[in-house]
Amino acid sequence: MAQKIAVLRANALGDFIFTLPALHALRRAMPDAEIVYLGKAWHKAYLTGRPGPIDRVEVLPPYPGVGEKDTYVADEAEVEAFFVRMQQEQFDIAIQMHGGGFYSNPFTKRLGAKLTIGLKTPDATPLDVNVSYVGVYSEILRFLEVVSHLGAVATSITPSIAVTASDLDEAYNVLVHPKDQHFVVIHPGASDLRRRWPTENFAEIADFLIDEGYHVYLTGTAFERSVIEDVLNRVANQERITNLCDKLSLGGMTGLLSMADLMVSNDTGPLHLARALETPSVGIFWTVNCLTAVWPNSNFHRSLIAWDPYCPLCGTDCVQPNFVHEHCEHQTSFTAYVKVEEVKKALQNLLVSTETRSTV
């Protein structure tokens, strides 16, 4: 029986959320093993002390193709010191959940585990146990397939994450009306500009929700500040909307989302976090992204999809043949095809559903 397991997945919030059913299944299959997550600094800050399947986090050094762009020039001394330390851990199993493996499989092998298992494209270095990496496929299911080779079976395929007292304390501190908790969170940003629904549309949705009696909180990072301010400036009722841009840690965001009545967001990490917290949501997606990020539970979640694969500026088909974007570098919204009325209809449906949920 394995005593120590390394799991490699060093990227963003949404990517982490999709691993949770697999990690929970792994924990149930090997309850006494130490599960060590190899990730980024934010993983360590967020997961340390948080109940869940992970025992501890080890932060990776900046490494090309694994947490950094493949053109990144690594500090070889720092990298070598990391691998020496990881080899001293004497992992029984190392699991690669970081993409197709071209860069991450050699990384995984250098950990020195007795058994390596993970995803693999045809051009990637093989591990001891390989699971074919298929581009357009549910992220949740692909990770469950990986751990199934270790005897791990899911009792739920829906990601879930724990909320801590410190999460809630931080969130309460920023609420305008802490005794009136009926509010909606709108997250209008996304790191990929193509996934951003137009700001004027988000502003119209904010006005709609305010008219429905909700306070609206706008969230985002400093990188998204201009987008959030543009939405804010377009909203008619300024007394019922609050800008929380860059004012919450990820823990505070977790607390806020756990208390929210609804969330409206682009396809980005906070949307998937809200869903893992069972907060009803409307997510706006661009074409095949919805297939990779499909959510197993549809009772209180709606995913609205812009199906047009063509760049609105140059007409390039950005889906075929291999779901790559090398031939179009336009950073414009690919989701504008989703109409405001579609989002309003989805919200009206959810408002009825959440009222029903609160009475059962």
Residue-wise pLDDT tens digits, 74-120: 999 999 999 999 999 999 999 999 999 999 999 999 999 999 999 99
**In this structure, are residues 100 and 121 in contact, taking their beta carbons and an 8 Å threshold?**
yes
Residues 116, 193: one domain? Answer: no
- Token duo for residue 156: 């739920």
Predicted confidence at residue 359, as pLDDT, reads: 37
pLDDT of residue 308: 81
Domain membership flag for residue 154 = no
| Number of domains the chain is built from | 2
Residues 306 and 174 in one domain: yes
Res 314: pLDDT: 83
Does one domain contain both 308 and 178?
yes
Contacting residues for 339 by C-beta, under 8 A, at least 6 apart: none
Quick count: other Cβ atoms within 10 Å of Cβ 323? Answer: 15
**Secondary structure (3-state) at 207:** helix
pTM score, two decimals? 0.94
Residues 8 and 105 placed together within one structural domain of the fold: yes
Q: What is the CATH number of the domain that holds 183?
A: 3.40.50.2000
The pLDDT score that the predictor gives to residue 326 is 52
Cα–Cα nearest to 94, from 76, 78, 110, 70: 110
The pLDDT assigned to 319 comes to 75
The answer on 318 and 187 residing in a single domain is yes
Say if residue 318 is in the same domain as residue 196.
Answer: yes
Domain end point (choices 122, 148, 174)? 148
Binning the chain into helix, strand and coil, the percentages to the nearest 5 are 40, 20, 45
Q: CB 190: neighbour CB atoms within 10 A?
A: 26
Q: How much is the pLDDT for 321?
A: 52
Burial 286-322 (b: 16+ CB within 10 A, else e): bbbbbebbebeeeebbbbbbbebeebeeeeeebbeee
- The long-range contacts involving 83-88, CB below 8 angstroms and separated by at least 24 positions, are 83/110, 83/111, 83/112, 86/6, 86/38, 86/58, 86/110, 86/111, 86/112, 87/111, 87/112
Q: How far apart are CA 304 and CA 339, in angstroms?
A: 9
User: In terms of residues, how long is the chain?
Assistant: 360
Q: Give yes or no: residues 258 and 349 share one domain.
A: yes
The pair of structure tokens assigned to 230 is 């543009």
Q: Is residue 190 in some structural domain?
A: yes
Low-confidence ranges of the chain (pLDDT < 50): 323-325, 356-360
Question: Is the CB of residue 44 less than 8 Å from the CB of residue 60?
Answer: no
Strands ordered across the beta sheet of 93-96? 56-59, 34-39, 4-8, 93-96, 115-120, 129-132
Residue 64: inside a domain, yes or no? Answer: yes
CA dist 146 and 168 (Å) reads: 34
Q: What is the pLDDT of residue 323?
A: 45
160 in any annotated domain: no
Let me know if residue 200 belongs to a domain.
yes
> Could you list the residue range(s) of the whole structural domain that residue 289 is in?
166-358
Tell me if 77 is assigned to some domain: yes
